[in-house]
Every structure is written in structure tokens, then in C-alpha cells.
Structure 1
Amino acid sequence: MSTPSPASFSDPLRPGLGSSRPLAIARWLEFVAGFVVLIVLVGGITRLTESGLSITEWNVATGILPPLTEAQWAAEFAKYRATPEYRLEAAATGMTIADFKFIFFWEWFHRLLARLVGLAYAVPLAWFWIKGAIPAGFKPRLLALLALGGLQGLFGWLMVQSGLVGDMTDVSHFRLSLHLLTALLLLAALVWTARDMRCLAAEPGARPAPLTRGSAFVALILFVQLLLGAWVAGLNAGHAAYDWPLMNGRLVPEIDLARGFAWTLTHDPFLLHFLHRWWAWVVVGTLIWLARRVRRTDRTASIALHSAFGLMLVLGIATVLSEVSLWVAAAHQLAGALLVAASAAAMHADGMARQAALADRS
């Protein structure tokens, strides 16, 4: 008789005996992924409310609590009044301490969620590790996800720092895109790993899903759109036009190339807005292809992907027509995170189908 593989042992009452717990790990990773989606949403609100520069320091421990006395609030407000954003923009609006408390809340809440998601990942990881519940071969990947989360937090602070120097009244849109795209990469990796764990729970000998060439191509197309979206957000380019499908009454906006093509491509709000709204249709085309490709093997992933890009598209148009309404634009960013999660699930299904097809041929 053959000996069962270690992954087939799963005694929930005695997890300390080296038994792997792929299903429990999958549920944990899905919970963390949901947390990341929430952080992306709050991060979008933080950006839309111009709250990101309201906290000028990064205090890992003491920053957990917001100011509790009027003296503490006054001290924080004084720090903010020294920033270029306040001196060159906010001062002219007559910002009050109440106004400052509003923007401070969103940045503080965003940072609090970042701390909580770090704990929600690190503590269970340590527990699963100590109990020997992590399936063979997955420890390096889970550690890499932990490192990626820490790196994303570092990029967030570097982003904030970019708006506190010189005459900058906003953070660097390059650093903003790095911060956001790292979060979305982390989300995709969490979803992918959770699905690998669920496959392992259903079939102890299952191997991790590969990324197919087709899925890699779709990922590249989607990456370009997400990058454009991050630059549009960082440059406030959503305000470049409030009509659709035209832009200020024109199909193609006037583009000033006086500073060179490279600078225009990465800085001009009209061009970036134009590219973001029309590249979306290229993304939709590739996602339809992917959704149809996995429809037979994973209908749920196919439906989720169709729903996600449909919602994303509708909310993108609504964001323009609403003149970048706070909650519509925030919902658009939320839909973007959900689209990344749905895409990762569909790409994983595509990899599993490809793997099964190769196994059948051998």
C-alpha cells in the first residue's frame, strides 16, 4: 500500500503534529485579500479628499492613536501648515482646525488599516508556521508575500515624503502608482495563493497553477490600464474633461508636445485621461477573451470577471460625468481592486486548465 503524502494529513484537533492545513490557510489569505481591497478603497478616498499629506511623520507605535487633546491637534495642524500643500493651496481656502481634522482622519485611518493588515498576515503566518500547518514548498512564497506587504508600506511613506519637499503640493504620481500597483500585485498574489491552497485541499497532490502565456498577455494589458489610472489620479487628470465619449467636445484632445513626447506621455493630464478612457476598451476585449477561455472549467471565475470589468467600465464613465464625485470615484477604485482579484482568479483557472490538459496528453 502506498503511503499518503504529508499534505493529506489534516487533523484540525491536533494541528501541531506537522499536519498541513491548506483550506484554513486559503481562508486566512482570502480574509487578508479582503482587507487589502478595503485599504485600496480607503486609499482612494484619502487621495480624493487631498488627505495624504495631513500627517507629516511616520510613527510606527505612537502614530496608532490620533491626537486626543486640543493641544495635540494644534501641534499636528502646525506641522501641516509648514507643508507646501498648505502654504501654496490650503491656506487660501481658509482651512480651519475642523477641516484639518477631516483630512487627518482619512490618512490616519488608512495608516491604521495598513498596520492591521500587517498583523492580520504576520500573526497567523507565525501560528501556521509553528504548528507545521504550511504545505511543503509554500513557506518561501508566504514569506515573499509578507515582504511585499512591507515593501508596499515603505512605498507609501516614500510617496508621502515626495509631497513634503520644495514646492510640491501633491505627492509624486510616479510614487503613487508604485504604491498602488504594489498593493494590487499583493492582492493578486494573495488570491492566487489562496486558490492554490484550495486546490491542494481538494487534491493533496495538486501542483501550483502556472501562469499561461495568454494570461500573461492579459496581465500586461491590464497593468498598463492600472498604471494609467494611477497617473490620472496622481495628476488629478480626471478633471481634464467632464463629458463622454468626447473630451471637451473633441474626440481627441489638444496635446502640447512642446516639452517632448516622453514628458507629455507621463505628465500631460489631457493625454493621460484620453489614454486611460480608451485603453479601457482594449482591456475589456482581452478580459472577455480570458473569461470565455475559462468558462467551461471555472464558470464562477468567468462570471466574476465579466461582472468586475462591467462594473469598472460603468463606474469609470460615471466618474467623468459626475465631475469626479468623491463616492463615485472611490467606487471606481474599489471596482479596480475587485477587477484585479477577479482577473487573478480567472488566470489561475486558466493555468489549472492548461496543467490538466498537459497531464491528459502525457
Structure 2
Amino acid sequence: MSVKIGNIDLGPFPLLLAPMEDVSDPPFRFVCKQNGADLMYTEFISSEGLIRDAAKSKQKLDVFEYERPVGIQIFGGDIDHMREATEIAAQAGPDLIDINYGCPVKAVVCKGAGSSLLQDIPKMVKMTAEVVKATSLPVTVKTRLGWDDTTKNVYEVAERLQDVGIQALSIHGRTRAQLYKGQADWSLIREVKRNPRIRIPIFGNGDVDSPEKAAAWRMEYEIDGIMIGRAAIGYPWIFREVKHFFATGERLAGPTLQERIEACRTHLDKSIQWKGERTGILEMRRHYANYFKGLPDFKPYRMKLVSELNLATIYQLLDDISGSYANNCTLLQPV
């Protein structure tokens, strides 16, 4: 059976690209969509920034036809401002609105936003209800297991947020206190999914970094889909590899050197189209090391790529990489 969020049909077991600050912008989403991501989200967007018309926040609202279905994710600590931000975000034309109740970063938590709301479930419920009422689009939520090991309350959170109208829930298998350390624990995600009261799709997130793990956890934890974050950075092929493994039980060969170069070039081109040449080049710098991870002695090329501002020279460097490593095809798989 297909998994649906409202009227959005995601197929039988969707793979979602997690919203990641400074990563999941439209250029990155483009290469992930090319490789099989079924649902993607914008970087999280501040409700305060939206209602104050901040340029950076407004630009994050950009969504494109090629990436549908796509959700806009918002965060904030003020209920009225979250309602206003929902109305603004909906005008940008996404397929759904997602609320971030999972970000563990101190600067977000200190403003009463993100995972901070896991300490105030009544406020979280009220905020969610207001967001749902503010739009005709489906509303989804991304959260964590709880604030810390003594307050793992996602079971209650799932019930109460479903009751006020959310249409899907993504759960990261860590508490806020864990940040991104240790191992993600999906056992409580399975308990949420098994709850007979829960009717909405439940997506698991955290530490899925290989096709084998995705297949094993799909069966073990009984979720409706998997959200992949860090494993996709510089490696958008994770989506196609997982799907191939689901279909055949066999591991698909990793991307060739030429595929890595072409994905990197496409990412760069989309970055320039979106933000202009100078900014596009600067923002691409954070991605080069990831695209070419595993290439021996790559540091000299990386240093040139992250210091060059001339687009023609960057293209030439990518061509040089192709020539230099043409006979060295033993690229490492992601770890």
C-alpha cells in the first residue's frame, strides 16, 4: 500500500531527505531528487525571520517544480508568530508544512523553539493546532524521542499531535541531550508505530547510512518510511542504492568517478543559478570534500577548489580531477 500524507502519494515505502541547515537548499535537493528522494524539505526557517521579512529566511522559501513533493519546515517559540509564518510559507506553494520540534542546537533551544518544546507538551500541542488551522496544506512534524533519557515522551507527543491534525510524524532516534552523539535508538519509534491509536505515517530518522541498514531497520522497526540526513551529504546516491537493495537484495555499485564529478558540477551550476555566481561558488565550497571522499591525495585539489572564485577555473579543476584519477576507480563507499 502507498504511504500518503493528505493527498500526497509517496509510494509504498518512501525515502525522505531530512531538512538540514546549510545543506538541504534547492541545489542539494536537486541532486537528491535525481537519485530517488521521494519527499524533501527545505532548511528550517525561522518564524521570526519570516514575519520580519528577513531576506535570508524569505529566500529559503524557494521551492521548484522539479522537487515536488516538497515541504517547507518552520520553527519558532511564539505561537502567534508560528501561525503567521505558516500563512507566509503556504503562499510560497509547497506541498506541505513541517514543524521542527527536534533541533537540539543551543541557539534555537534557548529561544524556546526546536526540541525545547519537548519540555512543554501543552504548548507544543497548542502551537501545532494553530499551525494546522492556519493552512489548508497537510502539516507534519519532525521531533526527537524526548528531552533526555528521563523524559522520553514521544509516545504521548505522537498521540496528541495526531489529535490536533498533523498528518505524518518523523522521529529522530535520539533525545535532545544526546545531540548527535551515541547511537540512535529506534525501539521507541517502533512502539509509536505499533500504538493502535496512531493512524498517520511514522518515519524513522537517525544513523541510516547504508542500504543494508535501511532494509534491516525497515523490517525491525516497522516504520512507514525512512528519513536520511547526514549520509546523503556529498552522497546523494544513497537513495538509489537503498531502493535498488530493496528491490533486488543486492548492493548497487557505488558511483563512478565521472558520476561524482557530474553531480558536483550539477550542484555547483544549480547553486549559481539560485544565488548568483559569487555566492553560489562560495556556498559550494562546503561540499567538495564530501563529493570526493575516498579519493587518495585529494587535498591539493580540495584546497584549490575552496579558494578559487573563477568559474571557468573551477570547471577546469573538475576536468583535471577526471584525468588525474581516471585509472584509480577504487572510490570508498560512504561509512
Same structural fold, with TM-score higher than 0.5 when normalized by the shorter chain: no
- Structure with the bigger percentage of strand: 2
- Structure with the bigger percentage of helix: 1
Q: Which has the higher contact order (CA 8 A, sep 6+)?
A: 1
TM range (shorter): under 0.3
The TM-score, its normalising length taken from structure 1, stands at 0.26
The TM-score, its normalising length taken from structure 2, stands at 0.28
Higher-Rg member (1/2): 1
